[in-house]
Amino acid sequence: MNHFKRVFALLVCICLMAAALAGCGGSSSTTTASDPSNSSSTSAPAETTGIDYPTKDIQGSIMWSAGGVCDMSARAIGAVAQDALGSNIIFTNRAGSGGAVSTTYVNAQPADGYELLFGAENPQIAKVMGTAEIDYDDFTPIDLYCTTYAAVSVSKDSPYNTLEELMDAILANPGKIVMATTGAGGLPEVVAAMFADVVGTDPILVPFDGENECMTAIMGGNADYTITTLGSAAAFYQSGDIKLLSMIAESPVEGYEDIPIVVDSYADFSKYVPWGPFYGVFVKNGTDQAIVDKLTDIFSAAAEDSDFQQLLRDNGCFPMNVSGDEAVEYVKSYRSITSWLLYNSGATQNSPEDFGIEKP
Amino acid sequence: MEIFGHMLQALIDPQLVIYLAVGVFLGIYIGAVPGLSVTMAASLLISFTYSWDVLPSMAAMVGIYIGGVYGGSRSAILLNIPGAPAAVATALDGYPLAKKGLAGQAIGITVVQSVLGGLIGTIILAVGAPALAKVALTFAPRDYFLLAIMGLLLIGSLGSDSPARGVMSAAIGIFIGFIGMDSQTGHMRFVIGPSGSLFRTYMTLGVSYVVVMIGLFGMSEALMQLRDLSVKPVKQKVDKIVPGWKNILKYLPLSIRTSLMGTFIGALPGTGGDIAALMAYDHAKRTTKDPETPFGEGALEGLVACESANNAAIGGACIPMLTLGIPGDAVTAIMLGAMYIHGLNPGPLLMKNSADVFWYIIGAMFVGNIFLLIFGFTGIKLFTKIVEVPKHILMPIIIILSVVGAFSINNNLMDVYWMLAFGVLGYIMKLYHLPVAPTILGIILVDLIELNFRRAAVTVGNSITALLTDLVSHPISLVLLVVIIGMSLSSAGVFQKIRAKFPSGAQAKGSKA
Amino acid sequence: MKKRKLEKGELGFITVLGVFSLICLIASMRIFVTAPTLNGEGTVPLITSCVLVVMTLVMLLETRGCPRGFEKGAALGQKARELLQFLFPGMVGPIILYCLVYAVLLSILGFAVSTLIFLFVSMITLNREHKVRSFLISAITLACIMILFQFIFKVQLP
């Protein structure tokens, strides 16, 4: 009987924990209910569809590491959307290989609408860059909610004060100037390829895990400059830790009018701009159309949420809201433009034609 | 004064105190269940807290974090299944203690040391966050590489009669870590299986080290135990759970040293509590001249070192998060997400623009550690009973818990199959005297070693001579290099030999090493 | 290493490790030649697999002079039997087998049923008495795990 007692103790122990946790779960949900602040913006469009979805928590895979634009925008829109969904979205950062880790992961999950991919533009050049065989052809876009510009930044202690100074230094010291990137297929390498084409610069590209890590690298003096999205650089620019040398844009960027634009420095760059990343939410192809419709309704409503849009603006990003066929068209045309651009500039030897990517 | 006001809020606002306390309590028990991790709990919690105010949600997060990091040690001690990677080192000496019937005492020590480490980490966070963040920023890829090499030297401490076998085991772990998509180029490495199959997709994404850890520790230990069913479970002594002042004072110098180490390693954006605990364990083993019990067989110093270090790493991990908006580990990454949602702008401006949140979090960490001291002593008697459950009942349950733990990482059955395979592999390795702990060490360190080596190499244009010059021409790298050389010499027994030759002059050297 | 009696099949185990190391070496070599620079994706694997090969050799050298696990001149069949005895004595073999069956059943029968069967069968295999009690314990354990994971943490179970 002694054994039995011990086993009993073990089980009681587990049960007690279970009970404690259950009690807490309950209390936290009551707090949610009693808090009036959450019911403001999004509730209208979800009720119409008659499907039984979602019935459990939804998983969200974020394409890049914590702290960057992709992460920030995904978590922010997810917070808005989950109220309308009536189900939690549980986020996991699955960074690596220019976004291929997250696309491969979500693509391996069942197409039941419980695995969302919060991704950036990167998979659309994965094929020509040779980083992955999967791109957004395998996914259905729900909503593209955010865009921003690329920007060249250096540490506040950097000797370079203009884009021209930096580029001249790279040309004068081949194999010396280090640029922090996010690896093959990431935005920094794409823009570096544009610069290689226009200016002929060939810096040393050191791959870090994400754009935030690129920022730390230049601030810590481990890289001379980096080209990231404005979103990742904005906070450090506002705090004075970095200098923004140039915007990869064709006209001055709202809120950052004093930053020079790249076409003023190098007029030839006009063939590449306007160009910028996009951020959106995707599901695997084959997901039930009713679920796709419901998600589309909810996320396009969430993208209009004023708090969400304000958060994006505060962080150097710009709201957009493209969904449905328009979004499919958008990611397709993005792929064809960028893939051909990379191919024509010599950044990759793989012809887009081999992957059936039409000329823009 | 204002600062103290914000910090004091953690103590006087009853609502916040309750959130914090509940967080710590839940964290302990979530961390203690194999298969539920702090990261998982935090990511679940964050979706609850979207609609809360900032401070309550931060209180709950900090609580879960503090409790969970401590809680991981319980299953490490009782079942040899580390609840989290940060508790791997705890299992090395904690489980042998449980086998001797001292699980209660071991848990008691881990509570006190966790609290000590947590408090020291918080103090450093409060006093030196901006300065330390600046130092952490200057850590170059080559320095991370050296740090990882330092971690590898730990193989010498992980107990085996033959160093070659330890190195072999670590190399196997490192190799497992290579499997999958290369995160810098996206190319496949060592991926096998028919194209398009689930098996191949799984390998593409890489083998999760939690799977390896659960298999090699938990599952293989269960199989080992089944070899001899006649051994009766040890009766656990539970009369002396709370360690006395004498005990605490005795280990105080060690816990302060390892807490400082833990805080610093935690503050580096690329490393967290798991590496901090392992390095602290190594440090303890090197500096403890005459442990009462040899390391690996239940040395209390081992527990003291890794538990104080992994809780100190919490304070460390918050340093880059709060001053730069860069997460120090997975949980701080989630906290960062929570701040964005609440409209804060975590990053270099947080300290200026949202000083209340900044100082509240620090205050909450102080108070949270006090709650840990209280709640940490709950349930010990009940938990130690687990070890007394007869094997024919406990072992199948451990296997099931391992299965659930492996599955819950990604909701993927493939993880379960791999875990079982690693369980059998670990079992065979143990039978043939190949230690399994270095394999885990290898798989924990592989990214740190490889990615940073490649970054360091490409930075200097892929030239070996330039890389070596780089290593000796930068102060931080040079210091790390000297420490590494010193450590390898001391493990090779050079100092002992010198001491034997020159008994008088060796004192100074000995204390340095 | 201290000279000790080798375990049964230890040399075989080291040989298997050696083969594994060689395979790793060849595979790393093939990656290395595609990007033969210091930062290439094959460089560190190549170094690691060299370490593997060298360590296998060292391990083999260390076993020199150690008493062998098997008696000299034992028949192959007897060696195999002794090896199995050593690797899977008593209940270890059956339990590993159950684990494999359980892994397969998981995808067919789902978590609840297969876990119940696994727990019950392995408990009565390990201790033939108290069948009813074993069943009860299995059921309670299963219930606890289900409640804790599935309903409170909403962790999906297979």
Please say whether the beta carbons of A67 and A210 come within 8 A. yes
Q: Are C153 and A21 an interchain contact pair (Cβ–Cβ within 8 Å)?
A: yes
- pLDDT per residue as tens digits for the range C76-131: 888 888 888 888 888 889 999 999 999 999 888 888 899 999 999 998 888 877 78
- pLDDT score for B507: 43
Task: Answer yes or no: is A348 within a domain.
Answer: yes
Task: Answer yes or no: is C1 within a domain.
Answer: no
Separation CA C36–CA B25 (nearest Å): 53
Residues A256 and A290 in one domain: no
Report the share of chain A in percent with pLDDT over 90.
27
Q: Are A75 and B184 an interchain contact pair (Cβ–Cβ within 8 Å)?
A: no
- pLDDT per residue as tens digits for the range A85-116: 888 888 888 887 778 888 988 988 888 888 99
Q: Are A88 and B26 an interchain contact pair (Cβ–Cβ within 8 Å)?
A: no
Interface test with B, best of C22, C96, C105 (most B CBs within 10 A): C96
How many domains, in total, are found in chain A? 2
Question: What is the mean pLDDT of the segment spanning A10-28?
Answer: 42
Separation CA A342–CA A329 (nearest Å): 20
CA atoms within 13 A on the CB side of A21: 27
Separation CA A121–CA A134 (nearest Å): 13
Separation CA A188–CA A225 (nearest Å): 11
- pLDDT score for A22: 39
Separation CA A190–CA A140 (nearest Å): 24
Separation CA A14–CA A9 (nearest Å): 9
Q: Are A18 and C133 an interchain contact pair (Cβ–Cβ within 8 Å)?
A: no
Task: Answer yes or no: is C51 within a domain.
Answer: yes
Cβ neighbours for B8, distance < 8 A, ≥ 6 positions apart: B363
- pLDDT per residue as tens digits for the range C126-158: 887 778 888 898 999 899 888 877 777 666 666
Task: Answer yes or no: is C4 within a domain.
Answer: no
Cβ neighbours for A172, distance < 8 A, ≥ 6 positions apart: none
- Of residues C100, C119, C14, the one with CA closest to residue B421: C100
Question: What is the mean pLDDT of the segment spanning B294-318?
Answer: 91
Question: What is the mean pLDDT of the segment spanning A121-133?
Answer: 82
CATH label of the domain that carries residue A165: 3.40.190.10
Confidence of residue A1 (pLDDT cuts 50, 70, 90): very low
- pLDDT score for B492: 67
Please say whether the beta carbons of B23 and B59 come within 8 A. yes
- pLDDT per residue as tens digits for the range B327-380: 877 888 888 888 887 878 787 888 888 888 899 999 999 999 999 999 998 888
- Of residues B42, B322, B245, B286, the one with CA closest to residue B153: B286
Task: Answer yes or no: is C38 within a domain.
Answer: yes
Three-state DSSP string of A129-154: HCCCCCCHHHEEEEEEEEECCEEEEE
Cβ neighbours for B345, distance < 8 A, ≥ 6 positions apart: A235, A314, A315, B325, B339, B353, B354
Q: Are C119 and B189 an interchain contact pair (Cβ–Cβ within 8 Å)?
A: no
- pLDDT score for B160: 64
Residues C23 and C71 in one domain: yes
For residue B188, what are the β-bridge partners? B181
Confidence of residue B195 (pLDDT cuts 50, 70, 90): confident
- pLDDT per residue as tens digits for the range A217-250: 999 999 999 999 998 898 889 888 999 999 999 8
How close is the nearest chain B Cα to the Cα of A137, in Å?
Answer: 17
Residues C56 and C16 in one domain: yes
If you measure CA to CA, which chain C residue comes closest to A13? Answer: C144
Task: Answer yes or no: is C53 within a domain.
Answer: yes
Residues A177 and A262 in one domain: yes
Residues A66 and A174 in one domain: no
Q: From the list B51, B139, B343, which residue is nearest A32 (CB)?
A: B51
Residues C112 and C134 in one domain: yes
Domain final residue, candidates A239, A271, A303: A271
Please say whether the beta carbons of A179 and A204 come within 8 A. yes
Distances (CA, A) of A353 to A100, A137, A184, A349, B325: 21, 15, 20, 11, 42
Confidence of residue A65 (pLDDT cuts 50, 70, 90): confident
Residues A143 and A283 in one domain: yes
Tell me which of B19 and A4 has the higher pLDDT. Answer: B19
- pLDDT score for A349: 78
Residues A310 and A238 in one domain: no
Question: What is the mean pLDDT of the segment spanning B243-266?
Answer: 90
Residues A289 and A141 in one domain: yes
SS3 category, B328? coil
Residues C16 and C82 in one domain: yes
- pLDDT score for A42: 39
- pLDDT per residue as tens digits for the range A161-213: 999 999 999 999 988 999 999 988 788 988 998 898 889 898 999 999 888 88
How many domains, in total, are found in chain C? 2
Domain final residue, candidates A227, A248, A271: A271
Please say whether the beta carbons of A163 and A152 come within 8 A. yes
- pLDDT score for B21: 94
- pLDDT score for A358: 78
Rg of chain C on CA atoms, in Å: 23
Which chains neighbour C (Cβ–Cβ under 8 Å, 3 or more pairs)?
A, B
- pLDDT per residue as tens digits for the range A318-332: 888 888 888 888 888
- H/E run at residue C54: helix C43-62
Lowest mean pLDDT among A71-80, B172-181, B285-294: B285-294
Q: Are A56 and C154 an interchain contact pair (Cβ–Cβ within 8 Å)?
A: yes
Q: Using CB atoms within 10 A of its CB, is residue A112 exposed (0-12), middle (13-18) or buried (19+)?
A: middle
- pLDDT per residue as tens digits for the range A134-167: 888 889 999 999 999 999 999 999 999 999 999 9
The pLDDT of residue B56 is above 80: yes
Two tokens at B388? 């007394």
Interface test with A, best of C37, C41, C137, C149 (most A CBs within 10 A): C137
Tell me the backbone φ, ψ of residue A144, rounded to 5 degrees.
-100, 115
Tell me which of B508 and B90 has the higher pLDDT. Answer: B90
Domain final residue, candidates A248, A271, A294: A271
Please say whether the beta carbons of B55 and B16 come within 8 A. yes
* Positive or negative torsion for Cα C136, C138, C139, C140: positive
The pLDDT of residue B122 is above 90: yes
Task: Answer yes or no: is C157 within a domain.
Answer: no
Residues A182 and A253 in one domain: yes
- pLDDT score for A38: 39
- Of residues B78, B125, B70, the one with CA closest to residue B372: B70
- pLDDT per residue as tens digits for the range B260-294: 999 999 998 878 888 899 889 988 988 888 888 88
- H/E run at residue A79: helix A69-85
Q: From the list A13, A93, A216, which residue is nearest B333 (CB)?
A: A93
Separation CA A120–CA A191 (nearest Å): 15
Tell me the backbone φ, ψ of residue B244, rounded to 5 degrees.
-75, 170
Residues C105 and C130 in one domain: yes
Task: Answer yes or no: is A13 within a domain.
Answer: no
Tell whether B325 is within 8 A of chain A (Cβ): yes
- pLDDT per residue as tens digits for the range A21-52: 433 433 333 333 333 333 333 344 444 456 78
Task: Answer yes or no: is C25 within a domain.
Answer: yes
Residues of C in contact with A96 (CB under 8 A): none
The pLDDT of residue A12 is above 60: no
Q: Are B389 and A35 an interchain contact pair (Cβ–Cβ within 8 Å)?
A: no
- pLDDT score for B457: 93
The pLDDT of residue B511 is above 50: no
Q: Are C62 and B404 an interchain contact pair (Cβ–Cβ within 8 Å)?
A: no
Which chains neighbour B (Cβ–Cβ under 8 Å, 3 or more pairs)?
A, C
Confidence of residue B239 (pLDDT cuts 50, 70, 90): confident
- pLDDT score for A28: 35
Residues of A in contact with B389 (CB under 8 A): 3, 6-7, 10
Domain final residue, candidates C39, C71, C86: C86
Residues C52 and C114 in one domain: no
Residue by residue, DSSP assigns A186-253 as SHHHHHHHHHHHHT---PEEEE-SSHHHHHHHHHTTSSSEEEEEHHHHHHHHHTTSEEEEEEESSSPB
Domain encompassing residue C120: 92-152
Separation CA B150–CA B441 (nearest Å): 12
Residues of A in contact with C141 (CB under 8 A): 11
How close is the nearest chain B Cα to the Cα of A89, in Å?
Answer: 7
Residues A167 and A69 in one domain: no
Residues C82 and C16 in one domain: yes
Domain final residue, candidates C70, C86, C102: C86
Question: What is the mean pLDDT of the segment spanning B422-428?
Answer: 94
Residues of B in contact with C45 (CB under 8 A): 175, 178, 189-190
**Which residues 113-152 of chain C have a CB within 8 Å of chain A?**
133, 137, 140-141, 144-145, 147-148, 151-152
The pLDDT of residue C71 is above 80: no
Separation CA B465–CA B468 (nearest Å): 5
**Which residues 334-393 of chain B have a CB within 8 Å of chain A?**
334, 336-337, 340-341, 343, 345-349, 379, 382-383, 385-386, 388-390, 393
Residue by residue, DSSP assigns B95-112 as HHHHHTT-HHHHHHHHHH
The pLDDT of residue A19 is above 70: no
Task: Answer yes or no: is C158 within a domain.
Answer: no
The neighbour count for residue A6, using CB atoms within 10 Å, is 18
Tell me which of A23 and B193 has the higher pLDDT. Answer: B193
Please say whether the beta carbons of A207 and A113 come within 8 A. no
Separation CA B170–CA B439 (nearest Å): 4
- Cis amide leading into A54 (omega within 30): yes
Residues A174 and A320 in one domain: no
Domain encompassing residue A219: 150-271
- pLDDT score for B252: 92
Domain final residue, candidates C86, C106, C125: C86
Tell whether B188 is within 8 A of chain A (Cβ): no
Tell me which of A256 and B4 has the higher pLDDT. Answer: A256
Distances (CA, A) of C58 to B22, B437, C55, C66: 54, 20, 5, 14
